[in-house]
């Protein structure tokens, strides 16, 4: 099963993707994690991404697509994957369609977590204090939410027009949200969401 998990920064995509990975037995691919790993390793793509991420901006499409293509070539993605944090704009959504068509792995479902900005700011502030991630700084998060509203939110329409999108209430206990996601997958894809 090939899934895109959409939602604003701090909406719980990473937490829920990890739960879906465990439930469905498929790879969890976070472009944020791919980027952070590249930055930490000091790869050429990582060095380009570092200054952009620290400023709260989105990393260029070519960098992210390059990292993603490398990741999708790994064997653990053959049975499916959950994309967390990608695509972030319409150009990326089109590029992803092209990449997946070349790989013969079209998407099965797109799930969007809906969480109010006030809840996101509260969540990311707690994570910033606990983990110290530069991209969780409250000022950076506000900028990222503005960018999300302008660039990423329209991606939901892109997938809705293709009959792939299901919107999920992302507020509540983690287990409740996970159950909503699994229920939506089962409704959208039928037995494919059963393990």
Q: Does the predicted TM-score (pTM) go above 0.85?
A: no
In DSSP terms, which residues pair with 82 in a beta bridge? 3, 28
- 126: tokens are 């707690």
For 63-98, write each residue's pLDDT tens digit: 888 889 888 988 999 999 999 978 988 999 999 999
Collapsed DSSP state (helix, strand, coil) of residue 28:
strand
pLDDT at residue 193 in the model: 52
**How many domains does the chain divide into?**
1
For residue 8, the domain's CATH number is 3.40.50.300
What are the residue numbers of the active site?
Answer: 13, 88, 127, 133, 144
Averaged confidence pLDDT in the chain: 89
Which residues lie below 8 Å from residue 75, measured CB to CB, with a gap of 6+?
none
Q: Which domain holds residue 16?
A: 2-192
Confidence of residue 24 (pLDDT cuts 50, 70, 90): very high
pLDDT > 70: percent of the chain? 97
Per-residue 3-state assignment (H helix, E strand, C coil) for 47-91: HHHHHHHHCCCCCCHHHHHHHHHHHHCCHHHCCCEEEECCCCCHH
Identify the band that residue 26 occupies on the pLDDT scale cut at 50, 70 and 90: very high
Alpha carbon distance 183, 173 (integer Å): 16
> Buried (b) or exposed (e) across 169-188, using 16+ Cβ within 10 A?
ebeeeeeebbebbbebbeeb
Helix (H, G, I), strand (E, B) or coil at 3: strand
């Amino acid at each position: 099963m090939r899934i895109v998990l959409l939602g604003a920064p701090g909406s719980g995509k990473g937490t829920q993707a990890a739960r879906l990975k465990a439930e469905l037995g498929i790879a969890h691919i976070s472009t944020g994690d791919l980027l952070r790993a590249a930055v930490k390793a000091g790869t050429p793509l990582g060095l380009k991404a570092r200054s952009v991420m620290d400023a709260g901006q989105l990393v260029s499409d070519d960098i992210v697509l390059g990292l993603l293509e490398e990741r999708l070539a790994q064997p653990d993605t053959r049975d499916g994957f959950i994309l967390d944090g990608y695509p972030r704009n319409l150009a990326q959504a089109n590029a992803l369609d092209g990449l997946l068509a070349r790989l013969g792995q079209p998407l099965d479902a797109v799930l969007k977590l809906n969480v109010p900005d006030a809840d996101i700011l509260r969540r990311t502030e707690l994570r910033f204090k606990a983990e110290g991630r530069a991209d969780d700084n409250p000022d950076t998060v506000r900028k990222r939410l503005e960018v999300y509203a302008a660039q990423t939110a329209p991606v939901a329409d892109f997938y809705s027009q293709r009959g792939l999108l299901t919107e999920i209430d992302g507020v509540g206990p983690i287990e409740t949200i996970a159950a909503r996601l699994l229920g939506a997958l089962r409704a959208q894809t039928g037995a494919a969401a059963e393990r």
